[in-house]
Structure 1
Amino acid sequence: MVNLIATTEICTYHDVEYTFINSLGEAGLLKLKMVKKNTYIPETELQKLEKMIRMHRELDINVAGIEAIVHLLDRVERMQEELRVLRNMLG
């Protein structure tokens, strides 16, 4: 079972607006779960969310920019994995 964290708690703890978290969810960058009209974030998404909050706060990157960065980082990670597999096949 996945533990859920209320977005209100996240917003209070990290001092971010609910609209920011909601925008990340709408962009497909974050999984949000609705339970009885309240929004929750699965605990498994917390590390990813905190990284995006840091990008937004420390680097002043908007949601569209975060979306581009996440896409590029995912692509780099897949390429590194492919390279690792190819190296193992060669040697």
Structure 2
Amino acid sequence: MNIESLIPLPALCIHYKVELSFFDNLNEMGLLEIKTIEETQYIHPDAIYEIEKMIRIHQELDINTEGIDVVFNLLQKIDALQNELVSTKNRLRLYES
């Protein structure tokens, strides 16, 4: 991946008005992958949607990074359960027909 397609973290800090330590904490918790190239930290553009959710949770709900980790784990479990429910409903329709 070339550097032009990556987003520098300092630009995100300015844009979203958060400190670099917020992204470092997310990285330490495994919620965000940061790439360092020539002493500048970058993220992949595909991570923006999740980052925006994390920033909203942090700023609007005043939840710390540990809380964000819990929220995202619960959201992943909900998503998995919803997928399982859809799959089960589809199998049930086969037997009802």
Q: TM-score range by the shorter chain?
A: over 0.9
Query: 2:92 and 2:60 mapped to 1: Cα distance?
Result: 42
Q: Which amino acid aligns with 1:22?
A: D
Question: For 1:86 and 1:75, how far apart are their aligned partners in 2?
Answer: 16
Provide runs of 4+ in structure 1 moved above 2 Å: none
Q: Identify unmatched segments of 5+ residues in structure 2.
A: none
TM-score normalised by structure 2 residue count: 0.90
Rounded to whole Å, the distance in 1 between the matches of 2:11 and 2:49 is 15
What's the CA shift for 1:34?
A: 1.2
Distance 2:42 2:76 in 1: 24
Matched residue, 1:49:
51
CA-CA distance at 1:83 after TM superposition: 0.6
Unpaired runs of 5+ residues, structure 1, are: none
Aligned to 1:37: 39
Normalized against structure 1, the TM-score is what? 0.95
Q: Cα deviation per residue 1:4-34 (whole Å; 9 max; x = unaligned)?
A: 1000000000110000011001100111111
Of 19, 22, 40, the match for 2:21: 19
Overall identity of the aligned pairs, in %: 38
Q: Partners in 1 of 2:64 and 2:8 — Cα distance?
A: 23
Aligned residues: 91
